[in-house]
């Protein structure tokens, strides 16, 4: 954009040249504005605010995928967001290697097809880990997948896509489902080559192997929900107060938790011979008197003191106080 000077600024500039305070050479040395090329035939369809919201989503998603892969494949994985940009679909297809690994999936209830593209280096390292190998660099890269490998990759990628559904939960709930795995880029045609797509690039490292994990979302797929990709909407959903159904669900889950409660009547020390000779009707002397308080243990910790008794003809205890060692404990369970 060309900056237009006002008349007063022009007069000040002329006076500065006439007085010698500024010369033609010093004016030419002024830093020039950086010019960014813009293609009016393919205008940007995603705003900066929408791009920023995608960045928040996939920053969280990268951490989730890193944890998931590290736990399930028992190796050191690192996933990080590299960039989010909007390009034409034809430009993306031309950047793919042949063969490449493209997973086409739908995003029900949204219409259309999106793509998850994984670089061959990462894909074959994942396959080697899935089959019990060490996941190091292999010489069998850049080849088509076998049927067994397709099944393994499809199952793994479905779980990776399910994690993206969780990352989008503040925007929309969708159920990703893999439609097809394609290794030839020429057959990956989901939209017109001139159509704008959102390209989300993540870097994935597996020990000494590194590569890319890319999501491609056509504009026509995201268009119906783009108004939700705003910072205001995102934080409004994040800070939403849980409704009554949510509270009731949490309360039901807490109430259904079973915690072992044990009352210790007392201790006794006997020899092995005495234990072997015990008969029905024998009396074992404990170290507690009948009027002494008993220890009540909850979840493996001593929490209360109580007196024994009966309640509606059933054995029971009456809680009286806290044991001395937990009186100052601020982290009581009950």
Return residue ranges of the chain for CATH 3.40.1550.10.
48-246
Is this structure's pTM higher than 0.85?
A: no
Per-residue model confidence (pLDDT) at position 52: 87
For the purposes of burial, counting CB atoms within 10 Å of the CB of 262, is it exposed (0-12), middle (13-18) or buried (19 or more)? Answer: exposed
Per-residue model confidence (pLDDT) at position 136: 59
Per-residue model confidence (pLDDT) at position 215: 93
Tokens 């007196």 label which residue? 307
Domain boundaries 48-246, CATH class: alpha beta
Per-residue model confidence (pLDDT) at position 4: 53
Per-residue model confidence (pLDDT) at position 234: 59
Q: At what angle do helices 48-73 and 147-167 cross, to 10 degrees?
A: 130
Per-residue model confidence (pLDDT) at position 334: 37
Tokens 């949490």 label which residue? 250
Per-residue model confidence (pLDDT) at position 2: 42
Q: b vs e for 221-249, b when ≥16 Cβ sit within 10 Å of the residue's Cβ? A: bbeeeeebbbeeebeeeeeeeeeeeeeee
Per-residue pLDDT of the chain (334 residues; tens, 9 = 90+): 345 556 667 677 777 777 766 666 655 555 555 565 655 566 677 888 888 888 888 998 999 888 888 888 887 888 999 989 888 888 888 888 777 788 899 988 888 889 999 888 888 888 888 887 765 555 555 667 788 888 888 898 899 998 888 888 878 888 889 988 888 888 888 888 888 899 999 998 887 788 888 999 998 888 888 888 776 665 665 555 556 776 777 888 788 778 888 888 888 888 888 888 888 888 888 888 878 888 888 877 888 888 888 888 888 888 888 876 544 444 434 3
Per-residue model confidence (pLDDT) at position 333: 41
Q: Which residues contact 149 (CB under 8 A, 6 or more apart)?
A: 127
Q: What are the tokens at 43?
A: 């205008």
């Amino acid at each position: 954009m060309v900056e237009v000077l006002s008349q007063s600024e022009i007069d000040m500039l002329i006076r500065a040249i006439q007085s010698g305070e500024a010369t033609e050479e010093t004016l030419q040395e002024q830093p020039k504005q950086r010019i960014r090329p813009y293609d009016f035939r393919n205008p940007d369809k995603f705003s900066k605010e929408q791009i920023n919201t995608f960045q928040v989503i996939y920053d969280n998603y990268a951490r989730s995928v890193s944890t998931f892969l590290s736990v399930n494949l028992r190796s050191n994985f690192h996933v990080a967001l590299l960039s989010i940009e909007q390009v034409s679909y034809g430009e993306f297809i031309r950047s793919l290697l042949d063969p490449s690994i493209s997973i086409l999936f739908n995003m029900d209830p949204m219409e259309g097809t999106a793509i998850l593209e994984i670089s061959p280096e990462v894909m074959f390292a994942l396959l080697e880990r899935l089959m019990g190998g060490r996941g190091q660099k292999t010489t069998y890269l850049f080849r088509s997948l076998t049927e067994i490998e397709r099944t393994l990759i499809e199952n793994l990628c479905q779980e990776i896509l399910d994690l993206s559904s969780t990352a989008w939960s503040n925007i929309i709930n969708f159920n990703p489902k893999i439609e097809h795995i394609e290794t030839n880029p020429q057959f990956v045609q989901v939209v017109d080559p001139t159509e704008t797509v959102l390209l989300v690039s993540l870097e994935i490292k597996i020990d000494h192997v590194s590569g890319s994990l890319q999501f491609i979302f056509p504009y026509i797929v995201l268009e119906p929900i783009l108004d939700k990709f705003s910072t205001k909407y995102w934080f409004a959903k994040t800070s939403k107060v849980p409704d009554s159904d949510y509270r009731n669900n949490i309360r039901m889950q807490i109430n259904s938790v079973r915690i072992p409660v044990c009352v210790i009547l007392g201790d006794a020390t006997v020899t092995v011979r005495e234990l072997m000779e015990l008969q029905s009707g024998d009396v074992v002397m404990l170290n507690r008197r009948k009027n002494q308080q008993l220890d009540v243990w909850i979840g493996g910790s001593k929490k209360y003191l109580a007196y024994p008794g009966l309640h509606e003809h059933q054995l029971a205890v009456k809680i009286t106080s806290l044991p001395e060692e937990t009186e100052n404990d601020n982290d009581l369970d009950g």
